[in-house]
Amino acid sequence: MKAFVFPGQGAQYPGMGNDLYANVPEAKELFEKANEILGFSITDIMFKGTDEQLRQTNVTQPAIFLHSVILAKSLGGAFNPDMVAGHSLGEFSALVAAGALSFEDGLTLVSKRAAAMQKACEANPSTMAAVLALPDEKVEEICASIEGVVVPANYNCPGQLVISGSNEAIDAACAKLLEAGAKRALKLSVGGAFHSPLMEPAKQELQAAIEAAPFAKPICPVYQNVDAKPYTDPAKIKTNLIAQLTAPVRWTQIVQNMIADGANEFVEVGPGKVLAGLVGKISRNVSVTSIQTIGI
């Protein structure tokens, strides 16, 4: 069985999607429609912008979403998932690719999500850190022992967990994690504490937009970040999507559950190869490929 997976923030690179725009008329049309919806030329930044410009949350999230979704649509019949999932932002790409949300509604929600997250970050300076080579349980235990807000945010693969919280709590947690034997506890250059209680204002802002958007039943189960389980019911999908901003991304558990449910082939669609790498670390018994463009 085939699982298609979609990357999240951090996968962007200058020039992403340019070959699709130049060579696939339907892709060009969707990119131009995106410029209209967003009210600025995101294609200029994607195709000709700098790393720095692409790293702005209000650009990064729509850019990765657009590259992933337009690529999935450009695959035609080769996009034939038995199941889909996306990492954080990538969950929106997965939902659009699987037909649970229209392209326009998906992009509008992603744009609102990025703006709300940016605002929450500015209101409450905070960060994230990658922790390597400690069991998840140990990281959870140490986070719980720290004063202030610090929580597990991304369960990426065994031995790689990202924590999220206030600057002071992250510093205190990193020191304790290194003492406990972590190979690294490295602060990330991100805008703020994604997937933590500090994103509550963004969650509240996004909730009304998600509730108002029309969702349909997807063509296959969508394994969602909050509990790593498969869903096809639009009402449940909405509820999980709202909870996603302040809850951890359970990527390790998603991949394990997909494999338990029969997935033996994983295809990453979109910029970068981050998820392909993580899937390979979670299981060596599945085939993994990464598609960043189509054979033009």
Q: How many CA atoms lie within 13 A of 121 on its CB side?
A: 20
Phi, psi of 46 (to 5 degrees): -65, -45
Q: Please report which residue ranges of 124-180 form alpha helices under DSSP H.
A: 136-145, 167-179
The answer to whether the CB of 57 falls within 8 A of the CB of 74 is no
The CATH H-level superfamily of 2-122+197-291 is: Malonyl-Coenzyme A Acyl Carrier Protein, domain 2 (3.40.366.10)
**Residues whose CB falls within 8 Å of the CB of residue 116, separated by 6 or more in sequence, listed in order:** 201, 202, 203, 205, 206
pLDDT tens digits for range 85-118: 999 999 999 999 999 999 999 999 999 999 999 8
The predicted structure's pLDDT at residue 296:
45
pLDDT digits (tens, 9 = 90+) for 184-238: 999 987 878 999 999 999 999 999 999 999 999 999 999 999 999 999 999 999 9
pLDDT tier for residue 295 given thresholds of 50, 70 and 90: low
Domain 125-187 sits in CATH at: 3.30.70.250
Q: List residues with catalytic annotation.
A: 88, 195
Per residue in 247-269, pLDDT (tens digit) is 999 999 999 999 999 999 999 99
Cα dihedral value 76, 82, 88, 91, nearest 10? 60
Query: Could you report the per-residue pLDDT of 49-80, keeping only the tens digit for each?
Result: 998 898 888 899 999 999 999 999 999 999 99
pLDDT tens-digit map of 40-56:
999 999 999 998 898 88
Per-residue model confidence (pLDDT) at position 192: 87
How do residues 125-163 score in pLDDT, each as one tens digit?
899 999 999 999 999 999 999 999 999 999 999 999 999
pLDDT confidence tier of residue 36, bands split at 50, 70 and 90: very high
Would 2-122+197-291 and 125-187 be classified into the same CATH topology?
no
Delimit the domains of the chain by residue range.
2-122+197-291, 125-187
pTM score over 0.85: yes
pLDDT at position 190 is 80
Whether the pLDDT of residue 121 is over 90: the answer is no
